[in-house]
Amino acid sequence: MDRTIVELKYGDDYYAADGRSIAFDLTGQPSITGATVTLIIKKSPVLTFSGSVVTATQCRFEFTAVQIATIGVGYFEYDLQATLTNGHVVTLKNGVLHVAADIR
């Protein structure tokens, strides 16, 4: 399983309509068609965000500036997990989420 770094900017929105959603391309994983996908961020308390399945091998997450504010600025470990249609839970990716400070 490869570790992926995800970069976000505090104060920004990340919507698919703007071409800024965070997409994960999956290889060597089970099909996620019909699955639910969750990004779990290691923080106290643990934060979870629901994503959407785009294809059998891709999912994406949209974040609002308000959601990013709940995460805060810094580096955080994350797991990308799917609950498959058969009820099995699989970790698809893990890595580091970096939320950079906003300079305004």
pLDDT band (50, 70, 90) for residue 4: confident
Mean pLDDT of 4-25: 96
Average pLDDT, the chain: 95
In the chain, the percentage of residues whose pLDDT exceeds 70 is: 98
Mean pLDDT of 14-27: 96
pLDDT of residue 3: 74
Are 80 and 92 in contact, with CB atoms under 8 Å apart?
yes
Token readout for 87 is 């009820």
DSSP category for residue 57: T
Residue 7: helix, strand or coil by DSSP? strand
